[in-house]
Structure 1
């Protein structure tokens, strides 16, 4: 299975008066008709095109960052003046942050004039793609409006707050006054967990901090677990992974939900939140995020509740003509067979791995039917291994 990766989430507000960063934003009268088409990155994030000072840029929609972030690489290539602003806390640690002034940003029916963007390293690994994005579009650009995300049609749009373009079940939604990101809550077991960052830039489903997981009760925690790895802007984090049979988000009762639990003292514990609701969960639904109206609306999509489980125990990254093992999941068949981080695979059942591998049917082997025997050819003449798939969590 190609690895869903985590992007930066819930960076603290930067040390600058808000007005100096915000600029002046306005929606066009026909904003409702201005859908923005997107695709999902290999890391499960919403990727689209927009314009920055008249230039076309690639962006990711990331409601888990307080201020939109421009790639340092892009700023350097376009000789933009960047002022140092200190550091921000992100998944995996902290990163250096700068600031660059902008003239205009255009996104669907939204135009912002003036204001600033944060500047930081945006590695390609954070989206699971070979090509990095130029920009993370965060809370500062979207929170004044309703954000309508149509995952089924792969498009989104910005609407005036208070609009409800479809019927759905509601959950509370606000902008946290301290961290300035979208927040809601989750009920699991005996615990009501809040604040939960609603983070479209997080490719996983539900993530909890260790402190929050300890409050949910023994019955809710009595599920098989394994391990997984995620990549934020500051590096890799190994977490526990489970499928919980039921949890509640507002009026929405969700079943068979993938849940990650960060290590003690991890990102959520550090920034003082219960956890995150990521794109892996949200894409089960058509989603309206409207913090101005105090709610998000979720309308279930047909077939949106299916959970993909690894049956191989290998989490893989695609590097041109090979798959690289990024993590071997605890208790899985790959761990039992002696696979190691860094092993590389050049063919699956005799089919060579190439640049278009991720979109081909063969790419689903790592989550295939239990009992299937898969022939994996190692690179550099290291021979072939047979891995028998099974369910283990």
Structure 2
């Protein structure tokens, strides 16, 4: 964009691409058309910019329109600056292959992949808001449409009505969580879904969130990156096809053992949620507290670019030394809490 290289995420769950307000200012964009964008569980105000050229995968594409919105909540949730969300409009007319284990993708022409032995073809359709949908099942229930959402860091999200109707929380250990997205921070119930099936392949023990509100009228849930990354993936939106092959080295579906909902600022992890009955709750942490250092290492801009952020997902029983915003060192014993 105008010669600028920016940090972006690929979000197949978003019908349209989104530019951050700060990037729009750098580019000198000053649109006046007001719009509302809708996330999974809420809405946010946005502006509409027209005729924007974006280079992705070695190709330039001119989009007739993109949204401009505040992406600070997305950046905080991911722990790194996100200046752009590449939506389904950037994936159209392309065949995109994802190798998650090696952090690579390749882009070709639509219809350019026919599948080979070991690959399974799954149909893609569009929902009422042009979100990409695939059929998937949980707990051996019938297949239902779910958003295929590369932009979600949650393995599985389920609508609260679907969870209630099928009594998915009955006898299941559960807690609370916070979800950060373009529509802000939303509370959710968190639990483990024992069985999820995408295509013919069953996936065990998927960390799951059920937001308090669910806006989609086309899907009962969403399949996010941690679950998608159990496969090698070829996505051909225009052909309406998704190709899956179980990955030889799927990425781990990480389970939090701390109970913190955190937003990264320049030099601090800001506590935005404390999960019910979690180690963080039992240790007296509260919303508004801050973490300045972990095991003696200060929080800085490198936090999400190496393994520093993985402390929350270490095995239960691990003791982590946290320096709070008052300069106190407080030990936290990680544990399973849902």
TM-score range, shorter chain: 0.7 to 0.9
Deviations, residues 122-172 of structure 1 (Å, cap 9, x unaligned) = 225446356533322111221333221111221222323331466544353
Deviations, residues 188-215 of structure 1 (Å, cap 9, x unaligned) = 1353353211111112111011122234
Deviations, residues 59-117 of structure 1 (Å, cap 9, x unaligned) = 22111111212223222332224141432222453222322222633222443246222
Please show how residues 113-262 of structure 1 align to structure 2 within 5 Å: 113=62, 115-123=64-72, 125-126=74-75, 128=77, 132-162=81-111, 163-164=113-114, 167-170=117-120, 172-176=122-126, 178-217=128-167, 221-262=170-211
Aligned to 1:100: 49
SS in structure 1 opposite 2:311? helix
| In the alignment, structure 1 residue 275 sits paired with structure 2 residue 221 | yes
> Are the aligned partners of 2:124 and 2:242 in contact in 1 as well (CA < 8 Å)?
no
Q: d(CA) in 1 for partners of 2:178 and 2:20?
A: 24
> Are the aligned partners of 2:226 and 2:252 in contact in 1 as well (CA < 8 Å)?
no
Aligned to 2:329: 384
Aligned length: 337
Please show how residues 273-352 of structure 1 align to structure 2 within 5 Å: 273-304=219-250, 306-352=252-298
> Are the aligned partners of 2:12 and 2:87 in contact in 1 as well (CA < 8 Å)?
yes
Q: d(CA) in 2 for partners of 1:113 and 1:360?
A: 34
Aligned to 1:17: none
SS in structure 2 opposite 1:376? strand
SS in structure 2 opposite 1:76? helix
Aligned to 2:17: 68
Q: Give the direction of change, closer, same or farther, for the CA distance of 1:330–1:239 in structure 2 (3 Å limit).
A: same
> Are the aligned partners of 2:100 and 2:251 in contact in 1 as well (CA < 8 Å)?
no
Q: d(CA) in 1 for partners of 2:136 and 2:290?
A: 39
The alignment's TM-score, normalised by the length of structure 2, stands at 0.88
- State the shift of 1:183 in Å: 0.6
Q: d(CA) in 2 for partners of 1:159 and 1:165?
A: 14
> Are the aligned partners of 2:12 and 2:149 in contact in 1 as well (CA < 8 Å)?
yes
SS in structure 1 opposite 2:185? strand
Aligned to 1:89: 38
> Are the aligned partners of 1:190 and 1:216 in contact in 2 as well (CA < 8 Å)?
no
Q: d(CA) in 2 for partners of 1:360 and 1:141?
A: 29
Q: Give the direction of change, closer, same or farther, for the CA distance of 1:215–1:168 in structure 2 (3 Å limit).
A: farther
Instruction: Choose 77-86 or 246-255, whichever is displaced more.
Output: 77-86
Q: Give the direction of change, closer, same or farther, for the CA distance of 1:363–1:66 in structure 2 (3 Å limit).
A: closer
SS in structure 2 opposite 1:214? helix
SS in structure 1 opposite 2:6? strand
Structure 1 vs Structure 2 CA RMSD? 2.7
- State the shift of 1:229 in Å: 0.8
SS in structure 1 opposite 2:258? coil
| In the alignment, structure 1 residue 353 sits paired with structure 2 residue 299 | yes
Q: d(CA) in 2 for partners of 1:358 and 1:377?
A: 18
> Are the aligned partners of 1:126 and 1:233 in contact in 2 as well (CA < 8 Å)?
no
The alignment's TM-score, normalised by the length of structure 1, stands at 0.76
Q: Give the direction of change, closer, same or farther, for the CA distance of 1:150–1:357 in structure 2 (3 Å limit).
A: same
> Are the aligned partners of 1:171 and 1:249 in contact in 2 as well (CA < 8 Å)?
no
Aligned to 1:29: none
Q: Give the direction of change, closer, same or farther, for the CA distance of 1:369–1:78 in structure 2 (3 Å limit).
A: closer
Which residues of structure 2 form unaligned runs of 5+?
Answer: none
Aligned to 2:7: 58
